[in-house]
């Protein structure tokens, strides 16, 4: 087995996603052949090197595991919590494989969450370059104005960077309506902050879809193992660009041609009773 970067080794062993693995390395929790390593560029080979995390020797997982979980409200999307709160791993009764969550859901958010021990899969799904869309049902206080809806769709400045185009449509009317929101990025508490920026607080937030995978009939706290065809569909979604999937609301309207481009377009000319480009004679006037 060839040498690989430590963060990839940790992810492949089911310790955490690559991003989280980098944090673990920087915290000095990883040793290679008995020496603490804190440099992210360090490489190792599990077949010849002894790599440990928090004193535990790493081994490559025998089989990759993929799980869909309905995360309830008031559960933390981490492997452990310093405050002693319930974590998503506490819900996986009977699962022996060491898995970690792919991405996150806020403490008071609920819905679909994927867990796995496949680091490459997790990295592909969460990478900003993949643009795998996530769909949410969101209940807010008050109704958005048409102007606010347009701002939500086209992008809102957050921490000095505008959000990517988002899908938005009302799915249940009322004084406190429900909206369907589709994002291709996942900044921390992004949906709550976007609505707050527009003057509305989020009452409930539920993720119902990740790429082609739907939460389906799962109830809060329930989970199931993904079928191979579902894993393949998720990986296929990584290579699709936003706006190509059926029903997407992320497409932007086509840009109008600039004045210069319009002027550059060939004009129809008429010479000697023949319309240019048609090859047909104009009928004579009588």
Active site residues: 106
Q: What are phi and psi of 71, to 5 degrees?
A: -75, 125
Q: How far apart are CA 227 and CA 126, in angstroms?
A: 20
172: buried, middle or exposed (CB in 10 Å: 19+, 13-18, 0-12)? Answer: exposed
Burial 95-116 (b: 16+ CB within 10 A, else e): eebbbbbbbbbbeebbbbbbbb
Beta bridge partners of 27: none
111, 135 contact by CB (below 8 A): no
Give CA angle at 78 (86, 197), nearest 5°: 100
Q: How far apart are CA 23 and CA 21, in angstroms?
A: 5
Q: Which two tokens stand for residue 3?
A: 């040498």
User: Please, which residues have CB within 8 angstroms of residue 2's CB and are 6 or more apart in sequence?
Assistant: 45
Q: How far apart are CA 74 and CA 250, in angstroms?
A: 30
53, 30 contact by CB (below 8 A): yes
CA 96 to mean position of chain CA atoms: 26
């Amino acid at each position: 087995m060839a040498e690989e970067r430590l963060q990839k080794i940790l992810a492949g062993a089911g310790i955490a996603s690559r991003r989280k693995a980098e944090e673990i390395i920087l915290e000095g929790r990883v040793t290679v052949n008995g020496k603490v390593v804190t440099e992210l560029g360090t490489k190792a080979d599990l077949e010849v090197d002894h790599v440990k995390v928090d004193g535990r020797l790493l081994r490559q997982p025998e089989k990759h595991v993929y799980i869909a979980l309905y995360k309830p409200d008031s559960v933390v999307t981490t492997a452990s919590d310093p405050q002693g709160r319930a974590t998503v791993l506490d819900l996986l009764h009977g699962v022996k494989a060491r898995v970690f969550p792919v991405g996150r859901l806020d403490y008071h958010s609920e819905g679909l969450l994927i867990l796995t021990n496949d680091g490459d899969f997790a990295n592909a799904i969460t990478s900003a370059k993949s643009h795998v869309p996530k769909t949410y049902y969101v209940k807010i206080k008050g109704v958005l104005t048409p102007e606010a809806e347009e701002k939500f769709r086209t992008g809102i400045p957050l921490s000095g960077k505008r959000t990517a185009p988002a899908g938005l449509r009302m799915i249940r009317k009322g004084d406190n309506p429900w909206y369907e929101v589709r994002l291709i990025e996942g900044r921390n508490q992004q949906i709550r902050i976007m609505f707050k920026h527009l003057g509305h607080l989020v009452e409930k937030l539920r993720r119902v879809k990740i790429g082609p995978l739907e939460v389906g009939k799962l109830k809060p706290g329930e989970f199931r193992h993904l079928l191979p065809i579902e894993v393949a569909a998720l990986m296929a979604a990584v290579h699709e660009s936003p706006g190509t999937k059926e029903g997407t609301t992320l497409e932007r309207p086509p840009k109008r041609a600039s004045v210069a481009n319009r002027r550059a377009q060939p004009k129809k000319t008429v010479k000697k009773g023949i319309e240019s480009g048609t090859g047909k004679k104009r009928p004579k006037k009588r």
